[in-house]
């Protein structure tokens, strides 16, 4: 097994706790589903948000998912680059896997699809 990163990003429409938590869970579940990930194989998850989001810590949503209580989580803010995508939540899920880099399915939802159209795919 090797350690691989799975990138993911999504956006919210408002800086509200409920929406941030909901969209974080939706993004994580999509990453897990597309990559057949189990929590036991996660080494850690890095979570970033743009500076315009400060209503809650998105890690709260992940800690409440059954089986994810022991997964190391870290929240941070994105570098505030002028013109960057607003109200954006990003995940870097690091997993121990036998999959190759090309087999990893990165996930970009909502307005975040604009970040990496080459990696964005419609939901199956």
Structure tokens at 74: 């870290």
Q: For 76, which DSSP code? A: E
Is 7 annotated among the ligand-binding residues? Answer: yes
Is 29 annotated among the ligand-binding residues? Answer: no
Is 60 annotated among the ligand-binding residues? Answer: no
Partners of 22 in beta bridges: none
Structure tokens at 25: 């869970």
Annotated catalytic sites, by residue? 7, 63, 75, 78, 90, 108, 116
Query: Using CA atoms, how far apart are residues 55 and 36, in angstroms rounded to an integer?
Result: 31
List residues forming the annotated binding site. 7, 90, 108
Q: Could you list the residues known to form a binding site for prephenate, using ranges.
A: 7, 90, 108
């Amino acid at each position: 097994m090797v350690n691989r990163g799975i990138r993911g990003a999504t956006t919210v429409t408002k800086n509200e706790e409920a929406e941030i938590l909901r969209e974080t869970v939706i993004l994580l579940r999509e990453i897990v589903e597309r990559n057949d990930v189990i929590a036991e194989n996660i080494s850690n998850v890095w979570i970033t948000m743009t500076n315009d989001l400060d209503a809650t810590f998105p890690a709260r949503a992940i800690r409440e998912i059954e089986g994810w209580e022991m997964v190391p989580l870290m929240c941070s803010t994105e570098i505030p680059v002028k013109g960057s995508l607003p109200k954006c939540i990003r995940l870097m899920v690091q997993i121990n896997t036998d999959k190759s880099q090309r087999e990893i399915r990165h996930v970009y939802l909502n307005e975040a699809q604009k970040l990496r159209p080459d990696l964005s795919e419609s939901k199956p």
